[in-house]
Structure 1
Amino acid sequence: MSDAHTLLSLQETIEAIAASCDDGDVWDRYAWVYVNKGDALIRQRFYLSSAEDEEDLLVDENGESLPLFAAERDLHHYLEAATFADVLIVQKRQQPLSQLDDYAAALEHYHRQDAFRDLGDFHAGTGDAPALPGIARGLSTEFDLQLAECPAERVGDAARATASLLDIPIAEALARCRQLPLVLGERIDPQQCARIERAFAALSLSLRRTTYRALAWL
Protein backbone atom coordinates (compact mmCIF):
# COMPACT_ATOMS: atom_id res chain seq x y z
CA MET A 1 0.00 0.00 0.00
CA SER A 2 1.19 3.55 -0.58
CA ASP A 3 2.73 5.44 2.35
CA ALA A 4 0.34 3.75 4.83
CA HIS A 5 -2.52 5.74 3.29
CA THR A 6 -1.39 9.17 4.38
CA LEU A 7 -1.83 12.64 2.98
CA LEU A 8 1.43 14.26 1.93
CA SER A 9 2.61 17.79 1.29
CA LEU A 10 3.87 18.63 -2.20
CA GLN A 11 7.46 18.40 -0.96
CA GLU A 12 6.84 14.99 0.61
CA THR A 13 5.15 13.78 -2.58
CA ILE A 14 8.07 14.89 -4.75
CA GLU A 15 10.54 13.26 -2.35
CA ALA A 16 8.56 10.00 -2.41
CA ILE A 17 8.58 9.95 -6.21
CA ALA A 18 12.31 10.72 -6.27
CA ALA A 19 13.00 7.90 -3.80
CA SER A 20 11.09 5.53 -6.08
CA CYS A 21 13.25 6.66 -9.00
CA ASP A 22 16.27 5.59 -6.94
CA ASP A 23 14.84 2.08 -6.91
CA GLY A 24 13.75 2.35 -10.52
CA ASP A 25 10.23 1.25 -9.58
CA VAL A 26 8.10 4.39 -9.47
CA TRP A 27 5.90 2.87 -12.19
CA ASP A 28 5.37 -0.27 -10.08
CA ARG A 29 5.09 1.36 -6.65
CA TYR A 30 2.58 4.11 -7.42
CA ALA A 31 -0.39 4.33 -9.77
CA TRP A 32 -2.03 7.74 -9.37
CA VAL A 33 -1.46 11.03 -7.60
CA TYR A 34 -4.63 12.38 -6.00
CA VAL A 35 -5.07 15.89 -4.64
CA ASN A 36 -7.60 18.03 -2.85
CA LYS A 37 -8.82 21.13 -4.66
CA GLY A 38 -9.40 24.79 -4.01
CA ASP A 39 -5.95 25.99 -3.03
CA ALA A 40 -2.58 26.72 -4.61
CA LEU A 41 -0.82 23.49 -5.51
CA ILE A 42 2.06 24.13 -3.15
CA ARG A 43 -0.38 24.16 -0.21
CA GLN A 44 -2.49 21.18 -1.25
CA ARG A 45 -2.36 17.66 0.18
CA PHE A 46 -1.61 14.63 -1.96
CA TYR A 47 -2.20 10.90 -1.91
CA LEU A 48 -0.12 8.35 -3.81
CA SER A 49 -2.14 5.27 -4.65
CA SER A 50 -0.76 1.85 -5.47
CA ALA A 51 -2.01 -0.57 -8.11
CA GLU A 52 -3.68 -2.49 -5.29
CA ASP A 53 -5.53 0.64 -4.17
CA GLU A 54 -6.91 1.02 -7.69
CA GLU A 55 -8.54 -2.42 -7.70
CA ASP A 56 -11.49 -1.56 -5.46
CA LEU A 57 -12.96 1.78 -6.54
CA LEU A 58 -15.95 3.88 -5.55
CA VAL A 59 -17.80 6.10 -8.02
CA ASP A 60 -18.58 9.54 -6.63
CA GLU A 61 -21.52 11.79 -7.52
CA ASN A 62 -19.57 13.20 -10.47
CA GLY A 63 -18.87 9.77 -11.92
CA GLU A 64 -15.22 9.79 -10.88
CA SER A 65 -13.86 6.37 -9.85
CA LEU A 66 -11.73 6.71 -6.74
CA PRO A 67 -9.99 4.48 -4.19
CA LEU A 68 -11.81 4.43 -0.86
CA PHE A 69 -9.14 6.53 0.90
CA ALA A 70 -9.36 9.24 -1.78
CA ALA A 71 -13.16 9.21 -1.91
CA GLU A 72 -13.50 9.57 1.87
CA ARG A 73 -11.29 12.67 1.81
CA ASP A 74 -12.84 14.32 -1.24
CA LEU A 75 -9.67 13.92 -3.31
CA HIS A 76 -9.52 13.93 -7.09
CA HIS A 77 -7.29 12.53 -9.81
CA TYR A 78 -4.36 14.80 -10.52
CA LEU A 79 -1.81 12.93 -12.65
CA GLU A 80 -0.71 9.36 -13.13
CA ALA A 81 2.33 8.78 -10.93
CA ALA A 82 4.55 8.01 -13.93
CA THR A 83 3.46 11.28 -15.60
CA PHE A 84 4.03 13.19 -12.35
CA ALA A 85 7.58 11.76 -12.30
CA ASP A 86 8.14 12.70 -15.95
CA VAL A 87 7.17 16.31 -15.24
CA LEU A 88 9.66 16.44 -12.37
CA ILE A 89 12.39 14.89 -14.53
CA VAL A 90 11.88 17.38 -17.37
CA GLN A 91 11.89 20.31 -14.94
CA LYS A 92 15.03 18.98 -13.23
CA ARG A 93 16.83 18.61 -16.56
CA GLN A 94 16.01 22.16 -17.52
CA GLN A 95 16.80 23.64 -14.11
CA PRO A 96 19.00 21.27 -12.05
CA LEU A 97 18.73 23.52 -8.98
CA SER A 98 14.91 23.64 -9.09
CA GLN A 99 13.21 24.40 -5.80
CA LEU A 100 9.72 23.49 -4.66
CA ASP A 101 8.12 26.51 -6.35
CA ASP A 102 9.73 25.53 -9.68
CA TYR A 103 8.36 21.99 -9.51
CA ALA A 104 4.93 23.32 -8.53
CA ALA A 105 4.92 25.63 -11.57
CA ALA A 106 5.96 22.76 -13.86
CA LEU A 107 3.23 20.49 -12.51
CA GLU A 108 0.54 23.17 -12.77
CA HIS A 109 1.58 23.92 -16.35
CA TYR A 110 1.38 20.26 -17.34
CA HIS A 111 -1.96 19.79 -15.59
CA ARG A 112 -3.46 22.77 -17.43
CA GLN A 113 -1.79 22.39 -20.83
CA ASP A 114 -1.10 18.63 -21.05
CA ALA A 115 2.44 19.60 -22.10
CA PHE A 116 5.79 20.02 -20.44
CA ARG A 117 6.87 23.52 -19.58
CA ASP A 118 9.58 24.64 -22.04
CA LEU A 119 12.05 27.03 -20.46
CA GLY A 120 13.87 27.49 -23.76
CA ASP A 121 17.23 25.85 -23.11
CA PHE A 122 16.24 22.24 -22.77
CA HIS A 123 12.98 21.47 -24.54
CA ALA A 124 11.04 18.43 -23.27
CA GLY A 125 13.99 17.15 -21.29
CA THR A 126 15.94 15.76 -24.23
CA GLY A 127 19.70 15.99 -24.65
CA ASP A 128 22.41 16.16 -22.02
CA ALA A 129 21.59 17.72 -18.67
CA PRO A 130 24.27 19.97 -17.19
CA ALA A 131 26.37 18.30 -14.51
CA LEU A 132 26.60 20.41 -11.36
CA PRO A 133 28.69 19.65 -8.27
CA GLY A 134 26.65 17.71 -5.75
CA ILE A 135 23.53 17.56 -7.94
CA ALA A 136 22.34 14.53 -9.92
CA ARG A 137 21.47 15.02 -13.57
CA GLY A 138 18.09 13.32 -13.26
CA LEU A 139 15.60 12.49 -10.51
CA SER A 140 17.65 9.55 -9.22
CA THR A 141 20.55 9.91 -6.80
CA GLU A 142 23.93 9.40 -8.49
CA PHE A 143 27.25 8.24 -7.09
CA ASP A 144 30.96 8.23 -7.86
CA LEU A 145 32.94 5.32 -6.41
CA GLN A 146 36.71 5.08 -6.03
CA LEU A 147 39.07 2.53 -4.58
CA ALA A 148 41.42 4.91 -2.77
CA GLU A 149 43.46 2.47 -0.68
CA CYS A 150 44.36 -1.21 -1.05
CA PRO A 151 46.92 -3.20 0.96
CA ALA A 152 49.57 -4.81 -1.24
CA GLU A 153 48.44 -8.30 -0.27
CA ARG A 154 44.88 -7.55 -1.47
CA VAL A 155 45.74 -6.09 -4.88
CA GLY A 156 45.11 -9.40 -6.62
CA ASP A 157 41.66 -9.76 -5.07
CA ALA A 158 40.82 -6.16 -5.91
CA ALA A 159 41.98 -6.66 -9.50
CA ARG A 160 39.78 -9.72 -9.96
CA ALA A 161 36.76 -7.86 -8.62
CA THR A 162 37.56 -4.85 -10.82
CA ALA A 163 37.96 -7.00 -13.93
CA SER A 164 34.58 -8.62 -13.32
CA LEU A 165 32.73 -5.40 -12.49
CA LEU A 166 34.21 -3.30 -15.31
CA ASP A 167 34.44 -6.17 -17.82
CA ILE A 168 38.11 -5.52 -18.55
CA PRO A 169 41.11 -7.89 -18.82
CA ILE A 170 42.67 -8.93 -15.52
CA ALA A 171 46.05 -7.48 -16.55
CA GLU A 172 44.47 -4.07 -17.11
CA ALA A 173 42.59 -4.32 -13.82
CA LEU A 174 45.81 -5.23 -12.01
CA ALA A 175 47.59 -2.22 -13.46
CA ARG A 176 44.73 0.08 -12.41
CA CYS A 177 44.70 -1.34 -8.88
CA ARG A 178 48.39 -0.52 -8.55
CA GLN A 179 47.80 3.09 -9.53
CA LEU A 180 45.24 4.33 -7.06
CA PRO A 181 42.82 5.99 -6.80
CA LEU A 182 40.85 3.73 -9.12
CA VAL A 183 37.54 5.04 -10.47
CA LEU A 184 34.97 2.24 -10.33
CA GLY A 185 31.93 4.30 -11.26
CA GLU A 186 31.03 7.86 -12.21
CA ARG A 187 27.50 9.21 -11.86
CA ILE A 188 26.17 5.67 -11.41
CA ASP A 189 22.69 4.84 -10.12
CA PRO A 190 21.93 3.43 -6.65
CA GLN A 191 21.64 -0.15 -7.91
CA GLN A 192 25.05 -0.07 -9.58
CA CYS A 193 26.55 1.63 -6.55
CA ALA A 194 25.21 -1.05 -4.19
CA ARG A 195 26.42 -3.88 -6.45
CA ILE A 196 29.98 -2.51 -6.59
CA GLU A 197 30.12 -1.75 -2.88
CA ARG A 198 28.94 -5.26 -2.01
CA ALA A 199 31.65 -6.81 -4.18
CA PHE A 200 34.41 -4.87 -2.43
CA ALA A 201 32.87 -5.20 1.04
CA ALA A 202 33.14 -8.97 0.56
CA LEU A 203 36.89 -8.41 0.22
CA SER A 204 36.95 -6.14 3.30
CA LEU A 205 37.89 -3.22 1.06
CA SER A 206 36.10 0.10 1.52
CA LEU A 207 35.35 2.53 -1.28
CA ARG A 208 35.21 6.30 -1.36
CA ARG A 209 31.71 7.46 -2.30
CA THR A 210 30.62 10.83 -3.65
CA THR A 211 26.86 11.45 -3.63
CA TYR A 212 24.92 13.64 -6.06
CA ARG A 213 21.50 14.64 -4.73
CA ALA A 214 18.37 14.22 -6.82
CA LEU A 215 16.71 17.28 -5.30
CA ALA A 216 18.54 20.50 -4.51
CA TRP A 217 17.06 20.81 -1.01
CA LEU A 218 18.02 17.30 0.16
Structure 2
Amino acid sequence: MARLSLQGITVRYPSAQEPALADLDLTAADGQFVVVSGALRSGKSTLLRVVAGQETPATGRVLIGGVDVTGLPPQDRDAVLVFQNYALYPHMDVRENMSFALRVAGVPEAERLDRVHEAARLLDLHAQLSWSPEDLTGPQRQQVALARAVVRRPAVLLMDDPLAALPPELKDHTAGLIRSLARTLSVTTLYATAEPGPVASVADRRLRLDSGRLREDTAVS
Protein backbone atom coordinates (compact mmCIF):
# COMPACT_ATOMS: atom_id res chain seq x y z
CA MET A 1 0.00 0.00 0.00
CA ALA A 2 1.21 3.52 -0.73
CA ARG A 3 -0.06 7.04 -0.44
CA LEU A 4 0.20 9.01 -3.69
CA SER A 5 0.76 12.76 -3.59
CA LEU A 6 1.14 15.30 -6.40
CA GLN A 7 2.29 18.74 -5.31
CA GLY A 8 2.12 21.79 -7.55
CA ILE A 9 2.32 19.82 -10.80
CA THR A 10 2.43 21.89 -13.99
CA VAL A 11 2.89 20.43 -17.46
CA ARG A 12 3.23 22.58 -20.58
CA TYR A 13 3.32 21.46 -24.20
CA PRO A 14 5.08 23.73 -26.72
CA SER A 15 2.14 23.72 -29.14
CA ALA A 16 -0.48 24.61 -26.50
CA GLN A 17 -1.35 28.06 -25.19
CA GLU A 18 -2.56 26.74 -21.83
CA PRO A 19 -0.83 24.19 -19.57
CA ALA A 20 -2.04 20.58 -19.71
CA LEU A 21 -1.87 20.57 -15.88
CA ALA A 22 -1.81 23.80 -13.92
CA ASP A 23 -0.31 23.82 -10.41
CA LEU A 24 -2.20 20.64 -9.57
CA ASP A 25 -2.32 19.27 -6.02
CA LEU A 26 -3.79 15.81 -5.52
CA THR A 27 -3.53 13.10 -2.88
CA ALA A 28 -4.79 9.51 -2.94
CA ALA A 29 -4.72 7.57 0.33
CA ASP A 30 -3.31 4.08 0.76
CA GLY A 31 -5.43 1.59 -1.18
CA GLN A 32 -7.90 4.21 -2.39
CA PHE A 33 -9.72 3.77 -5.71
CA VAL A 34 -9.95 7.20 -7.33
CA VAL A 35 -11.85 7.89 -10.55
CA VAL A 36 -10.56 10.92 -12.48
CA SER A 37 -13.00 12.16 -15.12
CA GLY A 38 -12.84 14.94 -17.64
CA ALA A 39 -13.42 15.85 -21.25
CA LEU A 40 -10.85 15.46 -24.02
CA ARG A 41 -7.69 17.46 -23.21
CA SER A 42 -8.78 18.01 -19.61
CA GLY A 43 -5.41 16.68 -18.41
CA LYS A 44 -6.41 13.28 -17.07
CA SER A 45 -4.11 11.19 -19.29
CA THR A 46 -1.27 13.64 -18.71
CA LEU A 47 -1.82 13.19 -14.98
CA LEU A 48 -1.36 9.43 -15.29
CA ARG A 49 1.77 9.83 -17.41
CA VAL A 50 3.29 12.19 -14.84
CA VAL A 51 2.74 9.64 -12.05
CA ALA A 52 4.08 6.82 -14.24
CA GLY A 53 7.19 8.82 -15.14
CA GLN A 54 6.38 9.11 -18.83
CA GLU A 55 5.91 12.86 -18.62
CA THR A 56 8.24 15.30 -16.84
CA PRO A 57 6.45 18.20 -15.13
CA ALA A 58 7.76 21.74 -15.50
CA THR A 59 7.13 22.27 -11.78
CA GLY A 60 6.05 20.18 -8.81
CA ARG A 61 6.76 16.85 -7.15
CA VAL A 62 5.36 13.31 -7.25
CA LEU A 63 5.57 11.26 -4.05
CA ILE A 64 4.74 7.56 -3.75
CA GLY A 65 4.75 6.14 -0.25
CA GLY A 66 6.33 9.38 0.99
CA VAL A 67 9.29 9.06 -1.40
CA ASP A 68 9.94 11.79 -3.98
CA VAL A 69 10.01 9.93 -7.33
CA THR A 70 9.85 12.98 -9.59
CA GLY A 71 13.31 12.39 -11.01
CA LEU A 72 13.10 8.61 -11.20
CA PRO A 73 12.59 6.66 -14.47
CA PRO A 74 9.33 4.70 -14.92
CA GLN A 75 10.84 1.33 -14.01
CA ASP A 76 11.90 2.61 -10.58
CA ARG A 77 8.58 4.13 -9.49
CA ASP A 78 6.52 1.08 -8.51
CA ALA A 79 3.64 2.44 -10.61
CA VAL A 80 2.08 0.58 -13.55
CA LEU A 81 0.02 2.16 -16.32
CA VAL A 82 -2.70 0.17 -18.15
CA PHE A 83 -3.90 1.55 -21.49
CA GLN A 84 -6.97 0.88 -23.64
CA ASN A 85 -4.61 -0.88 -26.06
CA TYR A 86 -3.80 -4.18 -24.36
CA ALA A 87 -0.88 -5.18 -26.71
CA LEU A 88 -0.51 -8.80 -25.61
CA TYR A 89 2.44 -10.84 -26.83
CA PRO A 90 0.95 -13.00 -29.63
CA HIS A 91 3.56 -15.78 -29.36
CA MET A 92 2.86 -16.36 -25.65
CA ASP A 93 -0.17 -17.95 -24.02
CA VAL A 94 -2.15 -16.14 -21.34
CA ARG A 95 -0.08 -17.55 -18.47
CA GLU A 96 3.16 -16.48 -20.15
CA ASN A 97 1.79 -13.02 -20.95
CA MET A 98 0.84 -12.54 -17.31
CA SER A 99 4.16 -13.75 -15.90
CA PHE A 100 6.60 -12.27 -18.44
CA ALA A 101 7.48 -9.12 -16.50
CA LEU A 102 7.96 -11.16 -13.33
CA ARG A 103 10.33 -13.54 -15.13
CA VAL A 104 12.36 -10.62 -16.47
CA ALA A 105 12.51 -9.18 -12.94
CA GLY A 106 13.89 -12.47 -11.62
CA VAL A 107 10.90 -13.43 -9.48
CA PRO A 108 11.18 -17.14 -8.54
CA GLU A 109 8.99 -19.52 -10.53
CA ALA A 110 6.86 -20.65 -7.57
CA GLU A 111 6.04 -17.06 -6.67
CA ARG A 112 5.32 -16.22 -10.31
CA LEU A 113 2.80 -19.05 -10.47
CA ASP A 114 1.15 -17.98 -7.21
CA ARG A 115 0.72 -14.42 -8.45
CA VAL A 116 -0.59 -15.51 -11.84
CA HIS A 117 -3.18 -17.85 -10.30
CA GLU A 118 -4.30 -15.19 -7.82
CA ALA A 119 -4.85 -12.65 -10.61
CA ALA A 120 -6.55 -15.28 -12.78
CA ARG A 121 -8.95 -16.08 -9.94
CA LEU A 122 -9.78 -12.42 -9.36
CA LEU A 123 -10.34 -11.74 -13.07
CA ASP A 124 -12.14 -14.97 -14.05
CA LEU A 125 -9.27 -16.15 -16.27
CA HIS A 126 -8.38 -19.58 -14.89
CA ALA A 127 -9.93 -21.44 -17.82
CA GLN A 128 -8.01 -19.31 -20.32
CA LEU A 129 -4.46 -19.59 -18.90
CA SER A 130 -3.28 -21.93 -21.67
CA TRP A 131 -5.03 -20.02 -24.47
CA SER A 132 -3.33 -17.96 -27.15
CA PRO A 133 -4.29 -14.25 -27.29
CA GLU A 134 -5.93 -14.87 -30.68
CA ASP A 135 -8.39 -17.26 -28.97
CA LEU A 136 -9.58 -14.59 -26.53
CA THR A 137 -12.47 -12.20 -26.89
CA GLY A 138 -11.77 -8.47 -26.71
CA PRO A 139 -12.94 -8.24 -23.08
CA GLN A 140 -10.80 -11.24 -22.13
CA ARG A 141 -7.75 -9.62 -23.71
CA GLN A 142 -8.37 -6.53 -21.64
CA GLN A 143 -8.65 -8.66 -18.50
CA VAL A 144 -5.33 -10.34 -19.33
CA ALA A 145 -3.72 -6.91 -19.73
CA LEU A 146 -5.04 -5.94 -16.31
CA ALA A 147 -3.82 -9.19 -14.83
CA ARG A 148 -0.38 -8.65 -16.38
CA ALA A 149 -0.21 -5.31 -14.57
CA VAL A 150 -1.44 -6.42 -11.17
CA VAL A 151 0.76 -9.52 -10.89
CA ARG A 152 3.62 -7.05 -10.53
CA ARG A 153 1.89 -5.85 -7.33
CA PRO A 154 2.67 -2.18 -7.87
CA ALA A 155 2.24 0.42 -5.17
CA VAL A 156 0.14 2.49 -7.60
CA LEU A 157 -2.05 1.21 -10.44
CA LEU A 158 -2.89 3.72 -13.19
CA MET A 159 -5.70 2.98 -15.66
CA ASP A 160 -6.33 5.03 -18.80
CA ASP A 161 -9.96 4.11 -19.48
CA PRO A 162 -9.45 0.37 -20.13
CA LEU A 163 -13.24 -0.18 -20.31
CA ALA A 164 -13.77 2.30 -23.15
CA ALA A 165 -13.72 -0.31 -25.91
CA LEU A 166 -15.93 -2.85 -24.12
CA PRO A 167 -19.59 -3.32 -25.08
CA PRO A 168 -22.03 -1.72 -22.61
CA GLU A 169 -23.28 -5.05 -21.25
CA LEU A 170 -19.76 -5.97 -20.07
CA LYS A 171 -18.68 -2.65 -18.60
CA ASP A 172 -20.49 -3.04 -15.26
CA HIS A 173 -19.18 -6.55 -14.75
CA THR A 174 -15.59 -5.61 -15.61
CA ALA A 175 -15.76 -2.47 -13.45
CA GLY A 176 -16.73 -4.66 -10.51
CA LEU A 177 -13.81 -6.99 -11.23
CA ILE A 178 -11.40 -4.06 -11.32
CA ARG A 179 -12.64 -2.69 -8.01
CA SER A 180 -12.52 -6.11 -6.38
CA LEU A 181 -9.01 -6.54 -7.69
CA ALA A 182 -7.82 -3.20 -6.35
CA ARG A 183 -9.45 -3.79 -2.97
CA THR A 184 -8.12 -7.34 -2.59
CA LEU A 185 -4.58 -6.26 -3.45
CA SER A 186 -4.85 -2.97 -1.48
CA VAL A 187 -3.30 -1.08 -4.37
CA THR A 188 -3.77 2.68 -4.69
CA THR A 189 -5.56 3.23 -8.02
CA LEU A 190 -6.17 6.18 -10.32
CA TYR A 191 -8.71 5.42 -13.05
CA ALA A 192 -8.99 8.09 -15.78
CA THR A 193 -12.09 8.18 -17.98
CA ALA A 194 -14.16 10.57 -20.06
CA GLU A 195 -17.36 8.85 -18.91
CA PRO A 196 -17.34 7.69 -15.24
CA GLY A 197 -20.44 5.55 -15.85
CA PRO A 198 -19.88 2.06 -14.46
CA VAL A 199 -16.71 2.83 -12.49
CA ALA A 200 -18.30 5.75 -10.65
CA SER A 201 -20.32 3.36 -8.51
CA VAL A 202 -17.21 1.47 -7.34
CA ALA A 203 -15.02 4.50 -6.59
CA ASP A 204 -13.87 5.71 -3.16
CA ARG A 205 -13.41 9.20 -4.58
CA ARG A 206 -14.43 10.97 -7.76
CA LEU A 207 -12.36 13.80 -9.20
CA ARG A 208 -13.10 15.97 -12.21
CA LEU A 209 -10.44 17.79 -14.20
CA ASP A 210 -11.08 20.67 -16.55
CA SER A 211 -8.35 22.52 -18.45
CA GLY A 212 -5.69 20.95 -16.27
CA ARG A 213 -7.30 22.01 -13.00
CA LEU A 214 -9.11 20.05 -10.32
CA ARG A 215 -12.74 21.24 -10.36
CA GLU A 216 -14.44 18.61 -8.18
CA ASP A 217 -13.31 16.23 -5.46
CA THR A 218 -16.07 14.07 -4.00
CA ALA A 219 -15.72 11.32 -1.43
CA VAL A 220 -18.09 8.38 -1.94
CA SER A 221 -19.75 7.21 1.25
Higher relative contact order (CA 8 A, sep 6+): 2
Q: Per residue, is there more helix in 1 or in 2?
A: 1
- From the CA coordinates, give the structure whose radius of gyration is larger: 1
Q: TM-score, normalised by structure 2?
A: 0.24
Q: Per residue, is there more strand in 1 or in 2?
A: 2
Q: TM-score, normalised by structure 1?
A: 0.24
